[in-house]
């Protein structure tokens, strides 16, 4: 396939995965003549781009429908779309997209033929074992820190992460009082190699919060770190997410906590249970590399597009009338 990715910024994860599957990618074709002259098979829109430039999207989507070229979007933002929620409702109700891929099925159902569960994944060209073998990570001497967190913790610039910042502050106090070492680092300060190194040097790697969370509403979906940490061989301890139980076996491949005290108790337990900790981490690694990479996501998306084209479903040019 030749695929147009209409994104504000390059989606390197999806681009790499599509190319690995043998497809070609062209960025930001917004005129139908350019799409037809490049023999584009489908256009995948960034969901935020649709919300930001709805009229630009509507004009092109109408022409794509007439040309029977599938209109696809991948939403990684629900429920954190706030007042723009009505736009999402309109997009689905009016049939403005042929495939609505989403990281979370909150308020959606895959029984609707347009909705496709497509969670985040491991970007394995960046997050992987590197030169380290899983067996080496069983050696207790390899670890230099007990607990780590890598992610956005700039609450002033990103107020949606205020709860995460406060949680980590409170957890840090508990860990210090109990002589448990930790490193909570803003990801903007670490390159990919340094992030992987920290993941592999920490006995426990945390996830708390998700950019898709909307203050009082917690996203069902898992953020990318919940796949990237296991891809590096790290042990993950995460806050509870509905879709965690869809993508992993709880207690066998993923461990979740309910609140601050539960997190602290589980940290103490797994620090004192190295064999169990490593068994879960290795199970999670196998699950991720077998099912949860961006290549797997791209493959599922392409299969859905090919099914649409095969079944002749992309015929809905009158849905705009």
Work out the end-to-end distance of the chain between its first and last CA atoms, rounded to an integer number of angstroms: 30
Domains 2-121+294-320 and 134-291 share a fold: yes
pTM for the predicted model, two decimal places = 0.93
Regions in the chain scoring below 50 on pLDDT: 315-321
Q: Contact at 8 Å (CB) between 147 and 204?
A: yes
User: What topology is assigned to 2-121+294-320 in CATH?
Assistant: Rossmann fold (3.40.50)
Phi/psi at 56 (5° precision): -60, -45
Please give the pLDDT value at position 91.
Answer: 87
- Locate tokens 């919060």: which residue? 209
- Establish how many alpha carbons lie within 13 A of residue 129's alpha carbon, considering only the half-sphere containing its beta carbon: 15
Nearest-angstrom CA–CA distance, 44 and 2: 11
pLDDT value, residue 260? 97
Q: Which residues pair with 81 in a beta bridge?
A: none
Contact 102, 78 (CB under 8 A): yes
**134-291: CATH number:** 3.40.50.2000
Residue ranges covered by each domain of the chain = 2-121+294-320, 134-291
- Please write the tens of the pLDDT for every residue from 265-306: 999 999 999 999 999 999 999 999 999 999 999 999 999 999
Task: Give the model's pLDDT for residue 317.
Answer: 37
């Amino acid at each position: 396939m030749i695929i147009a990715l209409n994104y504000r910024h390059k989606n390197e994860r999806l681009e790499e995965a599509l190319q690995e599957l043998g497809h070609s990618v062209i960025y930001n074709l917004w005129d139908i003549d350019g799409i037809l002259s490049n023999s584009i098979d489908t256009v995948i829109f960034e969901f935020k781009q649709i919300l930001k430039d709805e009229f630009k999207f509507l004009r092109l989507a109408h022409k794509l429908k007439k040309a029977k070229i599938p209109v696809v979007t991948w939403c990684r933002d629900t429920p954190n779309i706030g007042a723009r929620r009505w736009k999402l409702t309109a997009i689905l109700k009016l049939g403005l997209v042929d495939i609505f891929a989403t990281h979370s099925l909150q308020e959606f159902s895959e029984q609707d033929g347009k909705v496709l569960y497509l969670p985040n994944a491991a970007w394995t060209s960046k997050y992987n074992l590197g030169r380290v073998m899983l067996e080496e990570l069983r050696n207790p001497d390899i670890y230099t820190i007990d607990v780590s967190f890598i992610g956005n913790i700039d609450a002033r610039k990103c107020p949606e992460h205020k709860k995460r910042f406060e949680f980590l502050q409170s957890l840090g106090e508990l860990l210090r009082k109990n002589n448990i070492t930790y490193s909570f680092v803003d990801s903007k300060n670490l390159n990919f190699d340094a992030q992987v190194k920290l993941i592999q040097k920490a006995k426990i790697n945390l996830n708390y919060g998700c950019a898709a969370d909307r203050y009082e509403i917690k996203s069902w979906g898992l953020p990318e770190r919940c796949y990237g940490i296991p891809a590096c061989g790290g042990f993950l301890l995460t806050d509870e997410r509905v879709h965690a139980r869809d993508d992993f076996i709880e207690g066998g491949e993923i461990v979740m906590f309910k609140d601050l005290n539960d997190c602290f108790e589980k940290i103490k337990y797994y620090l004192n249970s190295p064999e169990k900790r490593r068994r879960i981490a290795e199970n999670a690694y196998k699950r991720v590399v077998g099912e949860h990479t961006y290549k797997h996501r791209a493959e599922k998306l392409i299969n859905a597009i090919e099914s649409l084209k095969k079944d002749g479903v992309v015929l809905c040019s009158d849905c705009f009338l």
